[in-house]
Amino acid sequence: MMAAEQRDQLRGTLMHDEPMSKHTSWRVGGNADHYYKPADIEDLALYLSQIDRDEPVTWVGLGSNLLVRDSGIRGSVIATSGVLNGLSGLNENTVRAEAGVACAKVARFTARQSLKGAEFLAGIPGTMGGALAMNAGAFGGETWDVVSAVETISRDGQLNRRLPNEYEVGYRSVKGSFNEATNEWFVAAELTLEKGDSEQSLAKIKECLNKRGDTQPIQQPNAGSVFKNPPGDYSARLIEASGLKGFCIGGACISDKHANFIVNTGDANAADIEALIAHAAKTVESEQGVTLIREVRIIGEATT
């Protein structure tokens, strides 16, 4: 980890053996060795520059689209939600949002600035950092459709500004020379949008949220869509057609409301959820002849 005199320089909050079940939308997961909530991007840079070079680093926003295994996470977890929360207009068409800002908040902010094109973000139950990392989408829109630049931070705390052409962006996928695989992570995005009508955009956001409430099990702990949609089809249709709606393993169940959602009915652990994900994929492949690709990220160590 780091020496006491180095810790004294930090302005954020550092916790040890922190239960990840408190920080994931499925409400499961073992403990993180170190859990750091930076005061701001500069404080984050200091933290990254001071930890051991070989210490694993994991980023967590609202903890959606994420399954943390029951034996937890080794190394440091960087928590962005509620701390990397800068959100402002750069000019009449461009907004800057830091990685910890909830996507829905960005949608409302841009609408109130009479900008259109980011309303779909209201349907993404995560933060901008996660949305950037996976090109999250909802209601026909995708994050990188509106990204004009990103700000990144490297393992040694170096800040950079990158352009979209430095990445290969696809459906729920972002690859490039500068990404998590090479120890460079997103800390902010610049979104360039068109001028629009504030009332129309806010009405569209309300419509998106109502549709989400009508079609998704938002009242139960879940992590969003479990599988990517295969070309020309929907994972939910394939799972339902395989007779899996309502199927449970332990406290984890495939939602009766939306078959591409797995819900924690109250006493699930990560092993239950991971087993149910594997069972759904295996069953769909056997019954429908389609290989489902997981959208949910699984991290940490399984209980042995």
Closest-CA residue to 84 (of 97, 66, 70): 97
The Cα–Cα gap between 115 and 241 comes to: 40
Q: What are phi and psi of 278, to 5 degrees?
A: -65, -40
Angle at 133 between CA 262 and CA 140, to 5 degrees: 65
Catalytic residue among 201, 225, 235, 255: 225
Q: Which residues pair with 36 in a beta bridge?
A: 14, 78
Q: Encode burial over 173-205: b for 16+ CB neighbours within 10 A, e otherwise.
A: ebeeebbeeeebbbbbbbbbbeebeeeebbebb
**List 21, 76, 142, 172, catalytic entry:** 172
Contact 299, 66 (CB under 8 A): yes
Q: What is the largest CA-CA distance in the chain?
A: 59
- Residue 172 is a catalytic residue: yes
Q: Which has the closest alpha carbon to 45: 17, 85, 12, 23?
A: 12
What burial letters (b/e) apply to 208-240, b meaning 16+ CB within 10 Å?
Answer: beeebeeebbeebbbbbbbbbbbeeeebbebbb
The count of residues in the chain is 304
The catalytic position among 18, 184, 190, 295 is: 295
Q: How far apart are CA 269 and CA 264, in angstroms?
A: 8
> Token match 């800040």: residue?
159
Q: Is there a contact between 294 and 249 (Cβ–Cβ < 8 Å)?
A: no
**Is 155 labeled as catalytic in the residue annotation?**
no
Other Cβ atoms within 10 Å of 258 Cβ, number: 21
Angstrom distance (rounded) from CA 51 to CA 276: 36
Report the catalytic residues: 172, 225, 295
